[in-house]
Amino acid sequence: MPRIVRLALVLAMCGGIAPALAGQDCAGRLGTSRVMEVDPAGLQVGTKHFPQTLDLADKEVVLTFDDGPLPATTPGVLKALARECVRATFFVIGRNAAAHPDLVRREIAEGHTVGHHSMTHPMTLADMPYDKAVADIEKGLKADERAAYGEAGAQPRVPFFRFPGFGSSPELLDYLKRRGIGVFGADLWASDWNPMTPQEQLDLVMARLDHAGRGIILFHDTRGQTLKMLPAFLAALKEKGYRVVHIVPSPARTAAVPR
């Protein structure tokens, strides 16, 4: 879908309950309560790693999924989100995006935000020589852009980045700041890199969320246990009165779309 049409669609959906799929009936679903425009300039958010986070009200959550896309799990995650009209942010790995561009395009077509998570997911970028770390970040940006839009410009269309394993360094944070790319940590996570049953996964993340009350939540759309737990998690959010906030970069990249 051309960028301008996609933006128009996103903005058109900002008015009320925002369907994950155009034309979808979202009555009675969890839904997406609002869209937050986030200025990437100098952005460093997520209280696990930084002193500040997004300006979320009590019971507001931002759902993020790292490390995809993968054909075995990402389509199921997208299906679960679409069923509840929920929009999320995917921090994709460049090599996975290059291997599965159809899934990256599907994420965007279904209204999600696609951010960046390096080319090869080094653990960690901070432990690599600076030049090699920068090269991996830049290769990832280009691979993601090509997968998503067919071409890569000097600046990524969504200047959102998350460090693999949250392994940032002051030098790399400075680099991204100079590049105009915002950095996302998380406020809480599901620890879904540890094997556990979907029920244990659900109990853990809900306990953490009930304790925190709001925040940016980190999942992995590459984990089967996360996929299996997602419908129950979204149902629990709805039942407990949590509201999903969708993040998009600001300013919008075109002046042609009326606001």
Catalytic residues: 66, 220
Residue 41: CB minimum distance to Zn ion, A: 24
69 near Zn ion (CB under 5 A): no
What is the per-residue burial (b if ≥16 Cβ within 10 Å, else e) of 233-243?
bbebbbeeebb
164 near Zn ion (CB under 5 A): yes
Pairing of strands 44-45, 182-184: parallel
Tell me the window of 49-57, 94-102, 138-146, 157-165 that interacts with Zn ion (CB under 5 A): 157-165
Quick one: which H or E segment has residue 23? none
Cβ atoms of 190 and 226 within 8 Å: the answer is yes
Site for Zn ion in 22-41 (CB under 5 A): none
Tell me the window of 18-26, 49-57, 100-108, 156-164 that interacts with Zn ion (CB under 5 A): 156-164
- Alpha-carbon distance of 191 to 182, in angstroms, equals 23
144 near Zn ion (CB under 5 A): no
| CB-CB neighbours of 51 under 10 Å | 7
67 near Zn ion (CB under 5 A): yes
- Alpha-carbon distance of 56 to 54, in angstroms, equals 6
Tell me the window of 38-46, 159-167, 180-188, 241-249 that interacts with Zn ion (CB under 5 A): 159-167
* Single residue of 29, 38, 60, 66 touching Zn ion by CB under 5 A: 66
- Alpha-carbon distance of 116 to 114, in angstroms, equals 7
Residue 64: CB minimum distance to Zn ion, A: 11
Binding interface with Zn ion (CB under 5 A): 66-67, 164
